[in-house]
Structure 1
Amino acid sequence: MDKRHFGFWNPTPTRHTLLEDAQGLFASSMIAALGLALMGSAGLVASGTAGVAFILHYLTGVSFGLYYTVVNIPFYILALKRLGRAFTIKTIAAVALTSLITELQPHFLSIDSIDPMWTAVLAGILLGFGLLGLYRHRASLGGIGVLAVYLQERFGWPAGLVQLAFDLVVLAAAFAVAAPFIVLCSVVGAVVLNLFLTVNHRADRYIAM
């Protein structure tokens, strides 16, 4: 195979090579996992299916990574039917990577003191960067992200605003496991994340596939 197709000498600037996709998925998953680790350290609830996984984790003590993987399974079916096999495979890989890194991260990263509101803003930005990187490589972190990408491509609805609407429902359920102030901080994190995506993610601005 021509070595240019691995990405170092990409002959087609509007199409990602295998290597470009691989490094994009890995880097984006690392950034997203850091955001999730910060949220978990502060007891916050993330948005989307990650929020559902956090709530189940707090209620049962079972691994966040396991719940995050399982909760995303139904959305893979939607991704396969509506967004194609390549998108689905890359999304499964991104969710698996993010789940694995999130589980391994406590062995390499320890946080002794953390402010919930500051964490919400910082984690929202980190997750925004992670999702933006995945979107630009035709992938997502599953769940609502899959639905948001589909609705943006099908109807032109901004992915960030679609995700925000669903996030508010998930965060309302967070009152079952967190104090009101923590839920408020979680809402701030969701707003930061989705406004970041609304401003920075436009299909007509980044055309590489």
Structure 2
Amino acid sequence: MATDPTLPHSVPEDVFGVLTGTFLAALGLYMLEQAEAVTGGTAGVALLLTYATPLSFGWLFFLVNVPFFALALWRKGWRFTVKTLVSVALVSLFTELNQHWIPLPEMDQIYGVIAGNLLLGVSLLAVFRHGSSLGGFNILALIAQEQFNMRAGYVQMSLDVIVILIALTVVAPMNVLISAVGAVVLNMVLALNHRPGRYRG
């Protein structure tokens, strides 16, 4: 028997979905950091700041997202905002734990960038589909999709280009070029899988 596509997720499904998504996001960001690469969004901003300051990614990621919580509350409501706050906090926590639990040896940079961005793309799908986001540009992309019928992946990609261009002031040009390829991979995952009307759970 076919499943009703409008059937909402239960609370346990939301909890497990957000935990899964944030865990994958933290792992993907950890791989990018180890590859000395960048990505888009507030995660990319936080990564750039880790290269330029002594602060850890986990703390920076949370702090950079704080202003966007107000936007989420204004346009998306309390439920989404609280879920996003929890998601951002979990990514920050998991990223800090990864540094202690998964000491990565030196990896191929291209592999790290592609794998890290694929993990980020899948993680974003998971948290989006459970009524949350990873903050920052995710919030802007979701609002653009819901209110202006613009695909979230394409909106996110446009914003990410700006962050990656800024990265040229901090990161070696070749690292930025590889990072740009990774950002395209991430946003293609979103553009091809997160479309208006495709998923209503």
Q: TM-score range by the shorter chain?
A: over 0.9
Instruction: Output the CA distance in 1 between the equivalents of 2:106 and 2:64.
Output: 30
Instruction: Output the CA distance in 2 between the equivalents of 1:108 and 1:45.
Output: 22
- Distance apart, 1:111 and its partner CA: 1.5
Please state if 1:121 is matched with 2:114.
yes
Please state if 1:166 is matched with 2:147.
no
- Residue deviations 1:112-168 (CA, integer Å, cap 9, x gap): 121111211111110000000011001110000000001100001010000001101
Instruction: Output the CA distance in 1 between the equivalents of 2:158 and 2:6.
Output: 35
- Distance apart, 1:106 and its partner CA: 1.4
What is the match of residue 56 of structure 2? 63
* Aligned ranges 1:24-39 → 2 under 5 Å: 24-39=17-32
Instruction: Output the CA distance in 2 between the equivalents of 1:191 and 1:122.
Output: 12
What is the match of residue 39 of structure 2? 46
Q: TM-score, normalised by structure 1?
A: 0.91
Please state if 1:143 is matched with 2:132.
no
Instruction: Output the CA distance in 1 between the equivalents of 2:54 and 2:160.
Output: 22
Is the 2:59–2:92 contact (alpha carbons within 8 Å) kept by the matching residues of 1? yes
Instruction: Output the CA distance in 2 between the equivalents of 1:129 and 1:197.
Output: 8
Q: Which amino acid aligns with 2:181?
A: V
What is the match of residue 191 of structure 2? 198
- Distance apart, 1:178 and its partner CA: 1.1
What is the match of residue 177 of structure 2? 184
Instruction: Output the CA distance in 2 between the equivalents of 1:149 and 1:97.
Output: 20
- Distance apart, 1:75 and its partner CA: 0.8
Instruction: Output the CA distance in 1 between the equivalents of 2:109 and 2:69.
Output: 32
Instruction: Output the CA distance in 1 between the equivalents of 2:128 and 2:12.
Output: 16
| Matched pairs, number | 197
Instruction: Output the CA distance in 2 between the equivalents of 1:41 and 1:127.
Output: 15
- Residue deviations 1:153-199 (CA, integer Å, cap 9, x gap): 00010100000011010011111221111101111111000011000
Instruction: Output the CA distance in 1 between the equivalents of 2:43 and 2:21.
Output: 15
Please state if 1:134 is matched with 2:134.
no
- Distance apart, 1:13 and its partner CA: 6.6
- Distance apart, 1:47 and its partner CA: 1.2
Give every structure 1 segment of 4 or more consecutive aligned residues whose post-TM-superposition deviation is greater than 4 Å: none
Identity of aligned residues (%): 45
Q: Which amino acid aligns with 2:20?
A: A
What is the match of residue 70 of structure 2? 77
- Distance apart, 1:74 and its partner CA: 1.0
Q: Which amino acid aligns with 2:142?
A: V
Q: Which amino acid aligns with 2:14?
A: D
Stretches of structure 1 lacking an aligned partner (at least 5 in a row):
1-11
What is the match of residue 83 of structure 2? 90
